[in-house]
């Protein structure tokens, strides 16, 4: 018998068919982007989408230490950048001085800067939380998956949205439209990523789509 998770996967698969976007990505020496939109990047094949893209950037290379150069490896950072209509994205360090980069890493402050089509853009980069153990960054894609799950972040048609905030906005819109106070909270049910996503897609669906969904659920009994 089909489960509700089967439907969820089908809905998400259709919703995540982003339109590709041709953006030239220029990474400064020593900078790499191992994960893009929750997926491990293979052979430098960056499948950017038209809209918001979630990157993980790492740096490992030489920096200036007074009159000499010294190798330094920084912890990975995660950042979401809106590349709607963009043609070029340049990624560099905020400084080539070891003392500056090392100090910011120790304070979990930004070390990267981003330039889109020649204009530096504001961002909210943050250090990717490590796993426990001797090799805390051995599986960066898994760390990104956990990061997004803990914050309720999902990719939706070129947007990185926070599930609970998006649900609250949709619920408020429905309440205003109907003149009633509505909520999708289910008594006794723990709010998981799956239930939040189901609620999100249900609220986004049209009346006809909701009828079809309810009919499908009845058929599963």
Cα diameter, the chain: 74
Within this chain, do residues 63 and 129 fall inside the same structural domain, yes or no? Answer: yes
- DSSP-assigned letter for residue 163: H
The reported pLDDT for the residue numbered 157 is 55
Q: Indicate if 123 and 193 belong to the same structural domain.
A: no
H or E stretch covering 122? none
pLDDT at 206: 72
- C-alpha pair distances (Å), 69 with each of 10, 61, 76, 113: 52, 10, 21, 21
Residues 28 and 109 in one domain: yes
pLDDT at 9 exceeding the cut of 70 = no
Judgement on whether residues 64 and 140 belong to the same structural domain of the protein:
yes
Query: pLDDT digits over 61-109, tens only?
Result: 999 999 999 999 999 999 999 999 999 999 999 999 999 999 999 999 9
Residues 129, 99, single domain; the answer is yes
The residue that leads in pLDDT, 182 or 202, is 202
Question: Is the entire prediction scored with pTM above 0.85?
Answer: no
Out of 149, 170, 191, pick the residue that ends a domain.
149
8 Å CB contact between 62 and 72: yes
User: How far is residue 176 from each of residues 167, 172, 179, 185, measured CA to CA in Å?
Assistant: 14, 6, 5, 18
Residue 20's pLDDT is what? 62
Q: Do residues 78 and 62 share a domain?
A: yes
Q: Into how many domains does the chain fold?
A: 2
Q: Which two tokens stand for residue 103?
A: 């100090």
Stronger pLDDT, 44 or 202, i.e. the higher one: 44
Phi/psi of residue 118, each to 5°?
85, 0
Place of tokens 């490896």: 73
Last residue of a domain, one of 98, 119, 149: 149
- Within 10 Å of residue 15's Cβ, how many Cβ atoms? 16
**88 and 41 assigned to the same domain:** yes
Q: For residues 51 and 136, state if they share a domain.
A: yes
Closest among 73, 53, 47, 76 to 62, alpha carbons compared: 73
Are residues 174 and 206 part of one domain? yes
* Same domain, yes or no: 29 and 121: yes
Domain residue limits at 199: 4-15+157-220
Boundary (domain end) residue, out of 149, 175, 201: 149
DSSP alpha helices (H): ranges in 86-192? 98-106, 140-151, 163-178
Please check whether residues 196 and 113 belong to one and the same domain. Answer: no
Question: What is the spatial distance between Cα 141 and Cα 149, in angstroms, rounded to a whole number?
Answer: 12
Instruction: Give the number of residues written for the chain.
Output: 221
Residues 40 and 136 in one domain: yes
């Amino acid at each position: 018998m089909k489960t509700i998770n089967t439907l969820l996967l089908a809905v998400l698969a259709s919703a995540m068919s982003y339109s590709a976007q041709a953006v030239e990505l220029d990474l400064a020496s020593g900078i790499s982007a191992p994960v893009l939109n929750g997926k491990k990047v293979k052979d430098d094949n960056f499948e950017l989408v038209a809209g918001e893209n979630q990157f993980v950037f790492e740096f490992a290379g030489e920096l200036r230490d007074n009159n000499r150069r010294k190798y330094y490896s920084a912890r990975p950072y995660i950042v979401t950048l809106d590349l709607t209509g963009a043609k070029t994205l340049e990624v560099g360090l905020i400084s080539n001085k070891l003392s500056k980069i090392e100090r910011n890493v120790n304070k979990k402050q930004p070390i990267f800067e981003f330039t889109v089509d020649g204009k530096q853009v504001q961002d909210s980069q943050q250090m990717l939380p490590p796993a426990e153990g001797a090799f805390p960054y051995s599986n960066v894609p898994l760390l990104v998956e956990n990061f997004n799950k803990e914050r309720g972040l999902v990719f939706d048609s070129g947007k990185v949205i926070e599930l609970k905030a998006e649900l609250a906005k949709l619920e408020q819109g429905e309440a205003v439209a109907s003149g009633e106070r509505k909520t999708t909270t289910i008594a006794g049910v723990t709010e998981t990523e799956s239930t939040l996503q189901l609620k999100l897609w249900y609220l986004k669906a049209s009346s006809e789509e909701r009828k079809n969904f309810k009919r499908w659920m009845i058929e599963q009994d």
